[in-house]
Amino acid sequence: MWRELQYLIHNFLPAGLQMDITQSYFEFLGLPVSYQLDQQALSERARELQKTLHPDRFSHLSDRERRLSVQYTAYLNEAVATLKNPLTRAQYLLQLEGVDTFSESRVQLDPMFLMQQMELREAVESIPDADDPEAEIEEQLQVVEQQMQELRQQFATFCVQNSPSALEAAAACVRKMQFIDKLGREIELLEDQLFDD
Amino acid sequence: MALLQIAEPGQSPEPHQRKLAVGIDLGTTNSLVATVRSGDAATLADEGGSHLLPSVVRYTEQGVVIGQAALAQASVDPFNTIVSVKRLMGRGAKDLKGLHGEAVYRFADREGGMPFLQTVAGDKSPVEISGEILKTLKARALATLDGELEGAVITVPAYFDDAQRQATKDAAQLAGIKVLRLLNEPTAAAVAYGLDEGAEGVIAVYDLGGGTFDISILRLNKGVFEVLSTGGDSALGGDDFDLALAQWFLEQLGGAEVVAGESRYLTEKARWTKEQLTDNESVRVELDHGGQKVELDVTRELFDGLINDLVGKTVRACRRALKDADVTADEVLEVVMVGGSTRVPLVRSRVEKFFNRKPHIDIDPDRVVAVGAAIQADVLAGNKPDSEMLLLDVLPLSLGLETMGGLAEKVIHRNTSIPVARAQEFTTYQDGQTAMMIHVVQGERELISDCRSLAQFVLRGIPPMAAGAAKIRVSFQVDADGLLSVSAKELSTGVESEIQVKPSYGLADNEIAAMLKASYSNAEEDMQARSLREQQVEADRLLVSLDQAIETDGATLLTAEEIKHLQEQMAILLALRNGEDYKAIEYGVQVLAQASDFFAARRMDQSIKNALKGHSVDEIEGNT
């Protein structure tokens, strides 16, 4: 790795070899720009592109071509991973509209939502002391999933309305999703701690 | 328009024009080499007819002995006879304390993280020792087959981290083998089973070798093998079963102090006992202990009890891998068993119970990985241009950076599809700060000290600015082999920072070069000849692929002037290529590659358009 690293530093890729992709993930994959996504179509397009772009298709060709193919395939994998997940897909759509929720550190959320989340969090924290922690975890995961589903629907609705206020509402939706997603992951982590080893 | 008369590798080769490519299973206990001949993939035997090469290297004053002959002397000459060297690959001296089996070696006191073993032939790194095994396999392939070796697909446990993969690639370099791909062992096994033909759905590959355990969940679809998740333990295998049994022997013998040779003797006896218990319910073992003979009866039940926790650990890893892949045990269509240790009855029964279906054991579990690697090597060498087969892997362990307070911040999560690229931005925290320390780690834990350190480097030459004003972008890129490269750049000024790298484990470039040199008798001349050959091959690749590209796409993607310019550049490189100066050829390759970059990029964009032809335009226009 360190060898490669020195190599990269001293020979920073020339402009010609830098991947030149100005297309969005949707365009790159030949999919309509929309929150509603045909997962089957996504997998099929991804597979077709992998067959064209993957470095293994260039293994008997020159070094340069292999490196270019690594960059393209990396972009493809990033595109697929981002669009596949409903939360990152929503975030990406917002990014295309100029709203960056990927790297925000402090956000304002409505107090009602926060109250609700605090209660949820308390319930999760008391899981290890419950009589049947496994059932308790299952229940909380369902609550999380249900809330996510509602927010996804709201987001999809705001998404198709073309107005600044709808965009703001869609962003608020995503911030809530991020919050709930984090809670979901914490519950899964707790599950691992309680039942593995 | 063909300018050069060089056979294009991808085009319907005559039998004698086939590129020689092999698959190599570099195992903890045994290694194998396989190739595809007249359509069939098979492992290659040595002159004595044996396919398995024991992964044992013995250093003597007269030279190096590899394989069966070395294994025979393992307990007589324990310090010079290295077994299970795979367990030392990419490991640091500190890790060795956890590997009880290897404690018998004498480690040299050296600078740097990589442990060197003291032998009569001098200090040897695990990379060199593995290189000896690879050299033997290469020689076997060349003796059996005709012609020059194009390259090899070498398999590694899916769970190998970056340092372990890099060490494997370095060993191949020492052995003079071009690595076409580092392929994960479970993926190779799935390929060998030919599960792509007709089969569609989710499969699980359970791979328990001598020293490593892997579980991979794959989805098969129209020739594409997509790894969904992978898990395991790179320090758990059949050797641990032997050790558990050897420990029990020792207890029966009264727990006497053991010397190096005797501990090896007991583990060999334990291995024999384990193998007997595969087909027998009980076995009588004779132990020679301090001059007296001791007889012990070992039942399968007793053995199962000794290894039950170890097997349980693998089942838990299966559960986690399913969860990571987001599939249930019921959705798994097929279970494939790989690795000699899956012959242990308890392993089979517990895996069968967990997945609730009979696992595949029809292909010899010792050979299945090498066979799969050979099939992939055949495709990668360009012998099967129409093949639809494509193997897509994931990153087995998260990659991250050290942040304040000794915490690890993940940059790329485990089970992300590779190749992958991610960048992270950092800033300075002091006014006028001109240097920054970056520590790259791999692993799932929160604390840096619990993760594997891959490399540390210092960014220097950051222009002095107010705290927080500099923006340093650190880019991670993982290639299809699972190998990481890192680069860094200061964004506000565009200054590329000078970097000093201190590898945590592994060999630096100059160490590899020195080892290569030392391995030749006429060092200087041989090195020259080899470098010349390598550069000529690289030049040929570039010329052939460009020639082909111009022929197929020149008319549509290039202007007449661009073609003329490229062909002039190609003629220059061809002239250099036929000379003797490898440095000039290397330079010529760089110049031509740069001059043709724009063309490669245009072709890539055209491929994307073609791959999506018929879908994209209407759908996108209809929805924006």
Q: What are chain B's domains?
A: 21-237+306-393 (3.30.420.40), 238-305 (3.90.640.10), 397-506 (2.60.34.10), 521-612 (1.20.1270.10)
Closest to B191 in 3D by CA, of B378, B395, B398: B378
Could you give the CA distance from residue B400 to residue B447 in angstroms, rounded to a whole number? 11
**Residue numbers in B near A72 (CB within 8 A):** 604, 608
Strands (E), B492-620: 498-503
Asked, for residue A189, whether it belongs to a domain, the answer is: yes
Helices vs. strands in chain B: H and E counts, helices first: 14, 26
How many beta carbons lie within 10 A of that of residue A109, not counting itself?
13
Q: Of all residues in chain B, what percent are helix, strand and coil, respectively (each to 5)?
A: 40, 25, 30
| B392, B417 Cβ separation under 8 angstroms | yes
pTM to 2 decimals? Answer: 0.81
**pLDDT value, residue A66:** 80
Task: Work out the pLDDT band at A12, boundaries 50, 70, 90.
Answer: very low
Q: Report yes or no on A90 lying in a domain.
A: no
Amino acid of residue A78: E
Residue A85 is given by DSSP the state: S
Residue B491: per-residue pLDDT:
80
Q: Are residues A116 and A76 in the same domain?
A: no
CA closest to B545 among chain A residues: A61
Q: Which residues pair with B360 in a beta bridge?
A: B336
Chain centroid offset of residue B292 CA: 45
- Geometric angle at alpha carbon B506, from B104 and B20, rounded to 5°: 100
Determine what percent of chain A is predicted with pLDDT higher than 70: 85
What is the DSSP-derived secondary structure letter of residue B92?
-
Cβ–Cβ contact B508 with A under 8 A: yes
Contact B619 A71 (CB under 8 A): no
Answer whether B612 sits within 8 Å of A60, measured CB to CB: no
- The alpha-carbon gap from A13 to the nearest alpha carbon of chain B, in Å, equals 10
- Domain co-membership, A121 together with A79: no
Q: How far is CA B592 from CA B355, B553, B585, B598, in A?
A: 54, 18, 10, 11
Phi, psi of B3 (to 5 degrees): -100, -30
Which residues in chain B are closer than 8 Å to A181, comparing Cβ atoms? none
Residue appearing with tokens 């083998």? B177
Which tokens hold the place of B381? 């060498």
Among B residues 357-416, those touching chain A with beta carbons less than 8 Å apart: 379-382, 388, 390-392, 416
Tell me which DSSP letter residue B100 carries.
G
Range of the structural domain that residue A14 is part of: 2-84
**With an 8 Å Cβ cutoff, is B8 touching chain A?**
no
Residue B217 backbone dihedrals phi, psi, to 5 degrees: -110, 125
**Has residue A137 been placed in a domain?**
yes
Q: Which among B379, B454, B619 has the least Cβ separation from residue A1?
A: B454
Q: What is d(CA B238, CA B209) in angstroms, rounded to the nearest whole number?
A: 6
Domain final position from A18, A49, A84: A84
Backbone angles phi, psi at B336, to 5 degrees: -110, 135
Which residues in chain A have their CB less than 8 angstroms from residue B473's CB?
none
CA atoms within 13 A on the CB side of B602: 16
Residue B293 to residue B299: CA distance in whole angstroms: 20
| Residues B333, B336, B342, B345, CA torsion sign | positive
pLDDT at B154 (0 to 100):
97
Identify the residue whose tokens are 């193997």.
B391
pLDDT at B121: 85
Report the domain count for chain A.
Answer: 2
B500 touches A: beta carbon within 8 Å = no
Strand partners, B149: B20
Nearest residue to B375 (alpha-carbon basis) of B14, B22, B77, B1: B22
CB distance B503–A1 less than 8 Å? yes
Q: Beta B201-208 vs B332-338: how paired, if at all?
A: parallel
Q: Which amino acid is at B404?
A: M
| A17 within some domain | yes
Give residue A90's pLDDT. Answer: 93
Which residues in chain B come in under a pLDDT of 50? 1-16, 100, 102, 616-624
Q: Which has the closest alpha carbon to B148: B45, B10, B21, B11?
A: B21
A173 found inside a domain: yes
What integer pLDDT is reported at residue B497 of this predicted model? Answer: 59
The domain that contains A58 carries what CATH number?
A: 1.10.287.110
Contact B21, B365 (CB under 8 A): no
Indicate whether A12 and A54 sit together in one domain. yes
CB atoms near residue B555 (< 10 Å):
11
Local structure of B47: helix, strand or coil: coil
Overall residue count recorded for chain B in this entry? 624
**Taking CB atoms and an 8 Å cutoff, what residues of chain B touch A100?**
none
Do A116 and A180 lie in one domain? The reply is yes
Give the minimum alpha-carbon distance from A60 to chain B in angstroms, rounded to a whole number.
Answer: 6
Listed residue (B387, B515, B506, B519) closest to B453, CA to CA: B506
Cα radius of gyration (chain A): 21
Going by C-beta distance under 8 Å and a sequence separation of 6 or more, which residues neighbour residue A182? none
Q: Is residue B566 within 8 angstroms of chain A, CB to CB?
A: no
Angle, CA of A91, A174 and A158, to the nearest 5°: 95
Catalytic residues of B: 25, 86, 185, 207
Residues A115 and A191 grouped into a single domain: yes
Tokens read off for A68: 């270019």
Token reading at A154: 């709201």
**pLDDT score recorded for residue B97:** 58
Percent of chain B topping pLDDT 90:
33
Eight-state DSSP code of residue A94: H
For residue A171, give how far its alpha carbon lies from the nearest alpha carbon of chain B (Å).
20
> Is residue B596 within 8 angstroms of chain A, CB to CB?
yes
Task: Kindly determine whether residue A49 and residue B496, on different chains, have CB atoms separated by under 8 Å.
Answer: no
The whole-number average pLDDT for the span A91-114 is 84
The verdict on A53 and A120 lying in the same domain is no
pLDDT of residue A15: 34
**Distance (Å) from the alpha carbon of A24 to chain B's nearest alpha carbon:** 11
CB contact under 8 A, A6 and B390: no
A131 found inside a domain: yes
Q: Are residues A61 and A127 in the same domain?
A: no
Local structure of residue B464 (DSSP, 8 states): P
Q: How far B393 CA sits from the closest chain A CA (Å)?
A: 11
- Give the integer Cα–Cα distance in Å for B536 and B302: 61
- The predicted pLDDT at position B475 comes to 83
C-beta atoms of A68 and B224 within 8 A: no
In degrees and rounded to multiples of 5, residue A62 shows phi and psi of -75, 160
Over residues A102-115, the mean pLDDT reads 80
Considering the domain architecture, whether residues A136 and A66 belong to the same structural domain is answered as no
CATH of the domain at A166: 1.20.1280
A48-68 tens-digit pLDDT: 899 888 998 887 776 777 888
Q: Are residues A69 and A118 in the same domain?
A: no
Residues on chain A touching B498 (C-beta within 8 angstroms): 9
In degrees, rounded to 5, the angle at the alpha carbon of residue B348 between the alpha carbons of residues B347 and B353 is 100
Residue B181: its chain A contacts at CB < 8 A?
A: 56, 59
**pLDDT number for residue B206:** 94
Let me know whether A70 and A6 are in one domain.
Answer: yes
Domain contains A122: yes
Alpha-helical runs (H) found in B149-231: 162-174, 185-192
Burial of A27 (0-12, 13-18, 19+ CB in 10 A): middle
Q: With contacts defined as CB-CB under 8 Å, which chain B residues touch A4?
A: 483, 485
**Is A104 a domain residue?**
no
Mark whether A74 and A144 lie in a shared domain: no
B612 touches chain A (CB under 8 A): yes
DSSP 8-state class, residue A56: G
